[in-house]
Amino acid sequence: MSLLVVEGLGIKFGGLHAVKDVGFTLKSGEIVSIIGPNGAGKTTLFNMISGIYLPLAGRVMLNGEDVTGMSPNRLAERGLSRTFQNLQIFQSMTVLENVMAGFHLQARGPVLSDMLGLPGSRRRSREAEAGARLLLERVGLERAAEREAGALSYGALKRLEIARALALRPKVLLLDEPAAGCNAVETEEIDHLIAAVAAEGVSILLVEHDMKMVMRISNHIVVLDYGEKIAEGDPATVSRDKRVIAAYLGAQATEAANADG
Ligand SMILES: Nc1ncnc2c1ncn2[C@@H]1O[C@H](COP(=O)(O)OP(=O)(O)OP(=O)(O)O)[C@@H](O)[C@H]1O
């Protein structure tokens, strides 16, 4: 069964369709990427799926439940979490504290006992710390646990953001440009991390401009242009599609040629 089903999603800004009638499905452990030129509607689509924008049309089904328009917190409780294109890391907190913040979000509830420092809250904190350290190990940042997050390299910050999203124990993880601003080595590390997370059964929805990465790790690709889905399929099928080449891969080739010249 598909974990996430997106049907006919649409939204308008100032009378113009930013996204129109877009649908696709995501199965357990699958990596689906959304690609398309700048302004194609990728982030807007993400924002509708993750409860930031209310769609004008269509619906989002998570694990068989209609979650359209549900708040990001309620979606996180149901197993959907995300990262952002612009990092949402607390720069002056330590790396460990940033991931622990993710655990506290997940274990919301007994706030009063936490404030009073009651025994249950100390146990929860210890569990959050142990869990956070395990996640840091998973993303290769265990030795940076006590460092201030602001001192990390860009690639490490991107991995920290993934660790924090994983603290919410998602079944579906939305990654908005996880390799943006990263060098080739950092991109490869993120690439391996995403594949490893998916191999453990977490479904990944990815928006990414790095086509090499997208082609390498995606099971399925959805291509947007001017807010509409113009193609979808496995990487080989999509990279041969004439509309995709014209709309996106062609544009990238032109950009690359201009940069070379
Ligand atoms: N909050 C907003 N208000 C008005 N227009 C918006 C808003 N957000 C996005 N748009 C417009 O909607 C369209 C889709 O934008 P979106 O950011 O989703 O594209 P994108 O594919 O994510 O682009 P990029 O690759 O540059 O991040 C664009 O024309 C954009 O200008």
pLDDT digits (tens, 9 = 90+) for 5-62: 999 999 999 989 999 999 999 999 999 999 999 999 999 999 999 999 999 999 999 9
- Is the CB of 47 inside a 6 Å radius of any atom of ligand 1? no
Ligand 1 atom closest to Cα of 47?
18
- Is the CB of 166 inside a 6 Å radius of any atom of ligand 1? no
What band does 103 get if pLDDT is binned at 50, 70 and 90? confident
Give the predicted TM-score (pTM) of the model: 0.88
Query: Which CATH number characterizes residue 43's domain?
Result: 3.40.50.300
- Is the CB of 149 inside a 6 Å radius of any atom of ligand 1? no
Residues 197, 133 contacting (CB under 8 angstroms): no
DSSP 174: E
Q: What's the CA-to-centroid distance between 13 and ligand 1, angstroms? A: 9
Q: How far apart are CA 38 and CA 145, in angstroms?
A: 36
Q: What mean pLDDT comes out for the span 251-255?
A: 59
Q: What's the CA-to-centroid distance between 40 and ligand 1, angstroms? A: 7
Helix (H) or strand (E) holding 101: helix 95-106
- Is the CB of 42 inside a 6 Å radius of any atom of ligand 1? yes
- Is the CB of 18 inside a 6 Å radius of any atom of ligand 1? yes
Give me the sign of the Cα torsion angle 53, 58, 60, 66: positive
Mutation test residue for ligand 1: of 9, 11, 12, 13, the one with most atoms within 8 Å of CB: 13
Residue 187: per-residue pLDDT = 92
pLDDT tens for each residue of 216-226: 999 999 999 99
- Is the CB of 159 inside a 6 Å radius of any atom of ligand 1? no
Residue 88: per-residue pLDDT = 78
Rounded to two decimals, the ipTM of the complex is 0.96
Number of domains the chain is built from: 1
Range of the domain at 74: 2-260
High-pLDDT (> 70) share of the chain, %:
88
- Is the CB of 34 inside a 6 Å radius of any atom of ligand 1? no
Of 12-26, 112-126, 170-184, least confident by mean pLDDT is 112-126
Q: What mean pLDDT comes out for the span 173-192?
A: 92
What band does 67 get if pLDDT is binned at 50, 70 and 90? very high
- Among residues 216, 238, 228, which one has the least CA distance to residue 23? 228
Q: What's the CA-to-centroid distance between 214 and ligand 1, angstroms? A: 21
